[in-house]
């Protein structure tokens, strides 16, 4: 690697190179054309002068050229203090093998570096970021580096920001360096050698053979750059007004507007935005100028000291937090809130009001909600109401916004909404109208409407969810769903995926067609072979051999489908035990349980016993609920004894008692309650808070009434406890009736207890009467 111009940057000092006035005036010659060479050009520190005073800007820039003499390829990298900012790859022509060396003419590049200080000065005017300026400079460097040959000592027109360069037979002029794509071209035949500015005009001198010709530049456009350079904005405005609506004018008005804003020359900025047709900014600046002038008049000072002007300028620059800070420093919370309201930044306004403890926070929230509804932002309104916990209102907004999916999410996450059948129906209807069948299915499944959920999943072609649900509610539909799934995959050209679903559906022909269509030849052969062998073993009834063979050639899902199909055939033939073996072989105990349940009418006791055996073995956690379910079914079929056994097995003795009560079988109800008292006393007491037999006896006596009730309780030896129970649970009518018939000595005591109960209820006149009947006048007086 050869480095011709070596510049070492140490403590911001460039050594071993001479750059008078930051200008590189010599061509760079790379002498070793047989190796890859690198040229490093650097610039020392720059001192940039801004309008607000002298500001020292210490930047080190470097241009790295990596050159291949065989291809003429050069990669320049512009770096700032080390890191690379730009990477590009323009191409240079080399002088050719006959010269013995390769020449890169870098006058133009050096001159760009010569004027970096001037560009940094423009940076301070326009308040662009350093990165943007570097990008612009890099783009200009790379653009100019592609321009073939030039003999110009500097591409910059003296005293302006205009760039001149040559590209083959074209003279290129950039009147606005911030818009590199806006270039003015002059066709020439020679080489551009100089730029001369004198006597009110500027010419580019071009050598054409033995003659020199001058190409005059647009002096008006040059004047704008000069005016900007001299900070004479008034002159720049006059020039732009003369320029009219030329293409270059818009960019120049924008540049001037940015400089005017940066230097706080608001009237100039207003004029610029008016020329650009930006009515909003023009009116805003006019309002700001009015505020500034009024402040200056009232206070006899410079209007630039006005905090309102500061806030306005912050708003113009979209620095809303800065504007807020200015208002708060002036103790003008209302102005800050009003600013956010006018900009429809309600979130910021509400956050500020809440932070400052504004007394009208709720009023602001109401105004925000009103604005959202007026502007048809129902979704945002719903989100706010959901955060506030007003879920029903949020739901209404989501539905109005045509967003039933959000409404469904809200309902499924809220128990109160989920328990409201009307709300669930409304949301489900909206989902169905929007053809969001899968989400409707999820909602229906959440509220245990499994049949509707299954229909929705099927419509949505959400086959995994449909099949999972079908296994519990309609196992017979699983096979059909697998076939539908396979057909759907075939229609969408997913033949590979369809094969297994056809196999699970027992559709060997379709599975074979899908395998052939997917060019799965091995799979196709397996399907044929296994199908033939399975048929043979099925025919002989050798299920163990069939299962082993299937396990060697098929996956679990395929085996399950085949064995389930055969089990169903055995079930239809009444061979339940053999069908059970097949179900258990493929780990489907639920299907075996369902089989016994469906066939319980043939040999009820035996079949249900087999069913409960399977439930105990495979679903121990479901034994109790299964007993309860069976008891309810047996009760519905008037099998009282069977229902009683399963109710008691499920520890639901009250359900057994209620069953006998509903059937007017009081002796059996009392028998069950006595059994509970003797065997399950703890359960009975925790469930009813008293002895089961006494409770049932009282209910039985009430159903009889009069003398019969008293005789029954006397026979059961429960008369006295029954009277106490009636008083304790405020059944005084029954207590009086029993006492009058069989226990007259207890009447006064019952009157006294009744009086105490009436006193507790605040019924003092009735209580007084009962106290008198109980021979307790003193208690009445104390009451």
Q: Report residue 587 as tokens.
A: 């780990």
Would the pLDDT of 139 be above 60?
Answer: no
- The listed range with the strongest mean pLDDT (60-69, 549-558, 685-694) is 549-558
- The listed range with the strongest mean pLDDT (136-150, 213-227, 259-273) is 259-273
Tokens 């970021």 sit at which residue? 129
Task: Name the band, by pLDDT with cuts 50, 70 and 90, for residue 104.
Answer: very low
Task: Name the band, by pLDDT with cuts 50, 70 and 90, for residue 673.
Answer: low
Would the pLDDT of 201 be above 50?
Answer: yes
**Between residues 295 and 611, the one the model is more confident about:** 295
Would the pLDDT of 173 be above 80?
Answer: yes
The verdict on pTM exceeding 0.85 is no
The span from the CA of 262 to the CA of 281, in Å, is 15
Task: Name the band, by pLDDT with cuts 50, 70 and 90, for residue 643.
Answer: low
State whether residue 738 is helix, strand or coil.
helix
Which residues, listed in sequence order, are joined to residue 78 by a DSSP beta bridge? 63, 86
Tokens 């000595």 sit at which residue? 745
**Between residues 12 and 401, the one the model is more confident about:** 401
pLDDT of residue 84: 27
Angle (CA) 650-654-657 rounded to 5° is 110
* Average pLDDT, rounded, for the chain: 65
Closest to 236 measured CA to CA, from 203, 272, 197, 184: 272
Mean pLDDT of 721-731: 71
**Between residues 590 and 153, the one the model is more confident about:** 590
State whether residue 41 is helix, strand or coil.
strand
- For residue 464, CA distances in Å to 252, 432, 458, 468 come to 64, 20, 10, 6
pLDDT of residue 617: 53
Check the CA dihedral 600-604-610-611 and report its sign.
positive
pLDDT of residue 31: 28
Angle (CA) 189-191-194 rounded to 5° is 130
Task: Name the band, by pLDDT with cuts 50, 70 and 90, for residue 587.
Answer: low
Would the pLDDT of 727 be above 50?
Answer: yes
**Between residues 597 and 145, the one the model is more confident about:** 597
Q: Which range, of 249-263, 295-309, 360-374, averages the lowest pLDDT?
A: 360-374
CATH of 376-468, one of 1.10.8, 1.20.140, 1.25.40, 1.10.10: 1.25.40
Mean pLDDT of 47-62: 29
pLDDT of residue 500: 80
pLDDT of residue 282: 83
Cα atoms found within 13 Å of the Cα of residue 545, Cβ hemisphere only: 10
Would the pLDDT of 221 be above 50?
Answer: yes
**Between residues 360 and 12, the one the model is more confident about:** 360
Would the pLDDT of 319 be above 80?
Answer: no
Tokens 């299907």 sit at which residue? 591
State whether residue 198 is helix, strand or coil.
strand
**Between residues 95 and 604, the one the model is more confident about:** 604
Displacement of CA 381 from its chain's centroid (Å): 18
Q: Report residue 296 as tokens.
A: 């200056």
Would the pLDDT of 40 be above 50?
Answer: no
Displacement of CA 646 from its chain's centroid (Å): 50
Would the pLDDT of 28 be above 60?
Answer: no
Which residues, listed in sequence order, are joined to residue 73 by a DSSP beta bridge? 68, 91
DSSP string, 480-548: HHHHHHHHHHHHTT-HHHHHHHHHHTT-HHHHHHHHHHTT-HHHHHHHHHHHHHHHHHHHHT-HHHHHH
pLDDT of residue 574: 74
**What's the pLDDT tens digit per position in 754-767?**
777 777 777 777 77
Mean pLDDT of 95-121: 35
pLDDT of residue 618: 60
Task: Name the band, by pLDDT with cuts 50, 70 and 90, for residue 650.
Answer: low
Sequence ranges of the domains in the chain: 1-146, 376-468
Mean pLDDT of 148-166: 66
pLDDT of residue 684: 44
DSSP string, 55-90: EEE---EEEEEEEETTTTEEEEEEEESSSEEEE---
Would the pLDDT of 547 be above 70?
Answer: no
- The listed range with the strongest mean pLDDT (130-134, 285-289, 356-360, 762-766) is 285-289
- For residue 679, CA distances in Å to 61, 486, 596, 630, 685 come to 97, 57, 31, 22, 12
């Amino acid at each position: 690697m050869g480095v011709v111009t070596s510049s070492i940057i140490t403590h911001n000092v460039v050594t071993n190179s001479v750059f008078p006035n930051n200008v590189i005036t010599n061509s760079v010659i790379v002498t070793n054309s047989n190796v890859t060479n690198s040229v490093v050009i650097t610039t020392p520190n720059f001192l940039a002068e801004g309008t607000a005073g002298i500001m020292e800007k210490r930047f080190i820039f470097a241009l790295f050229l990596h050159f291949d003499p065989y291809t003429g390829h050069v990669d320049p990298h512009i770096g700032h203090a080390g890191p690379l900012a730009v990477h590009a790859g323009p191409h240079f022509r080399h002088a050719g093998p006959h010269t013995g060396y390769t020449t890169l003419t870098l006058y133009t590049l050096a001159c760009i570096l010569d004027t970096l200080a001037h560009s940094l000065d423009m940076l301070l005017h326009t308040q662009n970021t350093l990165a943007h300026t570097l990008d612009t400079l890099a783009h200009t460097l790379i653009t100019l580096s592609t321009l073939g040959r030039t003999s110009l000592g500097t591409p910059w027109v003296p005293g302006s920001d205009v760039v001149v360069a040559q590209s083959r037979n074209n003279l290129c002029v950039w009147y606005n360096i911030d818009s590199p794509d806006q270039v003015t071209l002059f066709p020439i035949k020679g080489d551009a050698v100089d730029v001369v500015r004198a006597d009110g005009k500027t010419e580019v001198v071009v050598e054409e053979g033995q003659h020199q010709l001058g190409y005059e530049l647009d002096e008006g456009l040059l004047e704008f750059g000069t005016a900007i350079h001299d900070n004479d904005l008034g002159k720049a405005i006059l020039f732009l007004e003369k320029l009219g609506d030329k293409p270059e004018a818009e960019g120049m008005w924008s540049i001037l507007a940015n400089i005017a804003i940066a230097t706080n020359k608001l009237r100039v900025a207003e004029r610029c935005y008016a020329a650009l047709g930006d009515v909003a900014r023009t009116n805003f600046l006019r309002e700001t100028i009015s505020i500034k002038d009024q402040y200056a008049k009232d206070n006899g000072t410079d209007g630039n000291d006005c905090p309102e002007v500061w806030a306005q300028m912050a708003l113009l620059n979209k620095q809303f937090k800065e504007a807020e800070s200015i208002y708060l420093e002036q103790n003008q919370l209302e102005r800050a809130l009003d600013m956010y309201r006018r900009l429809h930044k309600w979130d910021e306004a509400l956050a500020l009001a809440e932070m400052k403890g504004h007394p009208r926070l709720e009023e602001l929230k109401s105004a925000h909600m009103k604005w959202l509804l007026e502007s048809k932002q129902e979704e945002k309104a719903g989100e706010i109401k959901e955060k506030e916990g007003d879920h029903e209102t949020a739901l209404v907004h989501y539905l109005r916004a045509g967003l039933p999916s959000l409404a469904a999410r809200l309902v499924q996450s809220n128990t109160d909404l989920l328990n409201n059948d009307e709300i669930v129906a409304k949301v489900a209807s909206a989902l169905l109208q929007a053809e969001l069948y899968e989400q409707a299915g999820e909602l229906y499944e959440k509220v245990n409407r499994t049949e509707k959920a299954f229909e929705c999943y099927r419509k949505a072609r959400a086959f995994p969810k449909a099949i999972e649900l079908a296994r519990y509610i309609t196992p017979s539909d699983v096979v059909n769903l697998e076939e539908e799934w396979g057909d759907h995959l075939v229609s969408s050209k997913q033949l590979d995926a369809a094969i297994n679903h056809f196999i699970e559906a027992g559709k060997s022909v379709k599975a074979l067609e899908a395998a052939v269509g997917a060019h799965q030849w091995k799979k196709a052969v397996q399907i044929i072979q296994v199908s033939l062998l399975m048929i043979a073993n099925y025919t002989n009834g050798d299920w163990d051999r069939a299962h082993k063979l299937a396990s060697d050639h098929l996956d679990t899902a395929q085996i399950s489908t085949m064995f389930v199909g055969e089990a169903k055939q055995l079930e239809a033939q009444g061979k339940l035990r053999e069908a059970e073996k097949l179900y258990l072989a493929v780990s489907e105990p639920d299907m075996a349980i369902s089989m016994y349940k469906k066939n319980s009418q043939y040999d009820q006791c035996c079949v249900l016993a087999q069913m409960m055996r399977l439930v105990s073995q495979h679903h121990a956690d479901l034994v109790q609920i299964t007993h309860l379910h069976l008891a309810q079914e047996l009760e519905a079929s008037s099998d009282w004894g069977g229902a009683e056994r399963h109710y008691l097995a499920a520890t639901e003795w009250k359900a057994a008692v209620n069953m006998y009560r509903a059937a007017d079988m009081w002796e059996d109800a009392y028998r069950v309650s006595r059994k509970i008292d003797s065997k399950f006393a703890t359960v009975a007491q925790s469930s009813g808070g008293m002895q089961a037999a006494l409770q049932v006896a009282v209910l039985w006596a009430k159903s009889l009434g009069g003398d019969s009730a008293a005789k029954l309780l006397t026979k059961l030896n429960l008369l006295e406890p029954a009277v106490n129970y009636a008083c304790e649970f405020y059944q005084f009518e029954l207590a009086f009736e029993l006492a009058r018939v069989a226990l007259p000595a207890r009447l006064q005591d019952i009157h006294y207890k009744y009086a105490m109960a009436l006193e507790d209820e605040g019924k003092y006149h009735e209580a007084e009467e009962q106290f008198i009947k109980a021979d307790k006048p003193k208690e009445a007086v104390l009451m």
